[in-house]
Structure 1
Amino acid sequence: MKRTRKWFIIALFILVLSKGIRTQTDGVSFAKTVRCMEAREEWETASPVAIDPMRYTYLGSGVQFYAFLSEDGTTVLKLFKHYHIGPPTPLLKKLPFTASVVEAREKRMESIFKSALFSASHCRKETGVVALQINPSKKLLPILEVKDKIGVRHHVDLNRTPFVLQRHADPFFETLETLSPSEIAKAISQLVETLKTFDSSDHLLSTNYGFCEKVPCAIDIGSLKKRVHPATKRDLYFLTLQLRQWLEQRYPQQIPTLDEAIG
């Protein structure tokens, strides 16, 4: 009885410690950024522009990426999150009865890579994508120093690690608040045109959009895809509903501008 109780207390302690560490680090695990799929021809991209070996600091964690802000505040390094929980994929591939889990992980990554490629190939201006690397690099890239949420330094080899570089975007509504009436009108029109360009599983403006030098841009590129059919007036109405509600409270005179942009 005492022995069982002892092991229970140890297990509980490990569980609490693990949860505490996860909370402190925001769940960041660089093991999850390691390439776990073979290179494919369709994932080839143009050689990245020259990348300065700057330091990067933890910015946030999403469903598909870990994000780090460059020391000059202009660029965001995004590392693909290859899985969420459980053992690393390379280890799973060596274990029995795990084929379905590996298949699900790879299918998920194929979808994310496809969205990233679409953004880099067709929507650079609308997404602020500067560089994308999925397959191992054919050009020597720097090893970057990044700091996680608790300040621990890590080194990321861009030659081996899939990544996205995006221009740092300012928060959407906070930036909109600072613009002049004419700039707001222009931004509304630009946003609607951007929303016509691609589809996404999440168009929430407050979290997935921002401004790159006063131009609206999509921050979350992990679920972007080419529209199968042109966006309808109804589609655009609901995609811009959050903006409409914001304008009604602050700049109701801009509602006609939004309506005109929607068509």
Structure 2
Amino acid sequence: MGAILKKLAGISLVFYFFLFVLPRFCYEKTGDFWYQTILSDLPFNPRWEAERISSAEMEMIPSLLNQRFFFLGSGMQCFAFLGEDEKTVLKFFKHSPSLLKKGRFLWHRPFLDSIFDSYKLAFQELKEETGILFLHLNKTRSLLPTVTLIDKMGNPHQIALDETEFVLQKAGELICKRLRRQMEDQDISGAKRSLDTLFFALSRGYRKGIKNNDRAFRRNVGFSGDHALLLDAGSLLCDERVKIPMEAQKEVLQKGRNLQNWLLKHYPELHVYYMNLVQQMKEE
């Protein structure tokens, strides 16, 4: 009996290792990235065709892509890579190759549709507020270069951009990092201006009838220079109700709760200023 229990205990340990320990170890080492997960067999879909950018804007894209991009992080929807210039971010949508073969990705399609629709909406209606420079949701031929991605372990990967779905976006400093830096520098007026800029960007989206279902407000809002950016544009949708000031205010109170709590804990003066800005939304 004792031998059987020992054997079962050993099997349980092995099972635990492969189920919990090994995946966690691999995730910490790789950030869950391997290049096959950004490749897909998705067919052309006119629904995902975004409006063309101007010829002047298009001329800038090759130079922005003519650099290496280093692993920055992994979210629910995308892998992000920061350019050597530290001013641009390349985001690749996550795919599961085994599920995206013909006839086997139908369950995944609604999820992709909502994400792609959101990024298309951001690119066409909130380009300035999201900092999206280029959107590529359908595969192309001989339009884009091959780029070098450096993964979390320092390994290079050559990726043909024509064959992938990706977003090129301005890099942004996260809002909490920016406010902390400004407050440590005793730049209270600068921190307040940052909050002003944030609310200006939010208001522009609401006035266009666009809401954001992402509740990770604190982690997904940042700044490029003096401009506030919605760094994650994967949860946007049209909702005419947010054009009503009181509804827009409710949105900010709900989605910005984690930022409110952070301000209250670390910078009560900024929290008061933030809540005054929220109140002003109802009075617009």
**Residue from 204, 215, 219 that aligns with 1:207:** 219
**Residue deviations 1:145-192, cap 9 Å, x none?**
010111010011111111100100101122134254252453253144
**Residue from 191, 199, 205 that aligns with 1:189:** 199
Larger CA deviation: 190-199 vs 116-125: 190-199
Cα distance, 1:61–1:184 mapped onto 2, change above 3 Å:
closer
Matched with 1:227 is 239
- Which residue identity does 2:70 align to in structure 1? T
Q: TM-score, normalised by structure 2?
A: 0.76
The count of residues paired between Structure 1 and Structure 2 equals 250
The alpha-carbon deviation at position 23 of structure 1 amounts to: 3.0
C-alpha distance in 1 between matches for 2:27 and 2:161: 25
Question: Would you say the 8 A contact 2:174–2:221 is kept in 1?
Answer: yes
Cα distance, 1:103–1:259 mapped onto 2, change above 3 Å:
same
Cα distance, 1:71–1:211 mapped onto 2, change above 3 Å:
same
C-alpha distance in 2 between matches for 1:208 and 1:252: 19
Question: Would you say the 8 A contact 2:252–2:278 is kept in 1?
Answer: no
Unaligned runs of 5+ in 2: 1-6
Cα distance, 1:257–1:224 mapped onto 2, change above 3 Å:
closer
Question: Would you say the 8 A contact 2:40–2:164 is kept in 1?
Answer: yes
Cα distance, 1:168–1:262 mapped onto 2, change above 3 Å:
farther
Question: Would you say the 8 A contact 1:37–1:106 is kept in 2?
Answer: no
Where 1:150 maps in the other structure, the secondary structure is coil
Q: TM-score, normalised by structure 1?
A: 0.82
Larger CA deviation: 67-76 vs 45-54: 45-54
C-alpha distance in 1 between matches for 2:153 and 2:195: 41
Residue 278 of structure 2 is aligned to residue 258 of structure 1: yes
Question: Would you say the 8 A contact 1:82–1:105 is kept in 2?
Answer: no
C-alpha distance in 1 between matches for 2:29 and 2:168: 25
**Residue deviations 1:12-50, cap 9 Å, x none?**
687665653333101112212112211012222326552
Cα distance, 1:191–1:140 mapped onto 2, change above 3 Å:
closer
C-alpha distance in 1 between matches for 2:255 and 2:28: 33
The alpha-carbon deviation at position 257 of structure 1 amounts to: 3.5
**Residue from 61, 70, 73 that aligns with 1:50:** 61
**Residue deviations 1:97-154, cap 9 Å, x none?**
xx5xx21112211111111111111110111100001112255211000101110100
Residue 47 of structure 2 is aligned to residue 31 of structure 1: no
Question: Would you say the 8 A contact 1:25–1:150 is kept in 2?
Answer: yes
Q: CA RMSD in A?
A: 3.1
C-alpha distance in 2 between matches for 1:244 and 1:260: 16
**Residue from 22, 27, 41 that aligns with 2:27:** 22
C-alpha distance in 1 between matches for 2:177 and 2:22: 37
Please give the residue correspondences for 1:1-263 in structure 2 after superposition, counting only pairs within 5 Å: 20-45=25-50, 46=52, 48=58, 49-52=60-63, 53-83=66-96, 88-91=98-101, 93=102, 99=104, 102-138=105-141, 140-177=143-180, 178=182, 180-181=188-189, 183-184=193-194, 186-194=196-204, 196=206, 197=208, 198-229=210-241, 230=243, 232=247, 233-245=249-261, 246=263, 249-252=268-271, 254=273, 255-263=275-283
Unaligned runs of 5+ in 1: none
Cα distance, 1:114–1:136 mapped onto 2, change above 3 Å:
same
C-alpha distance in 1 between matches for 2:130 and 2:177: 18
Q: Percent identity between the aligned chains?
A: 24
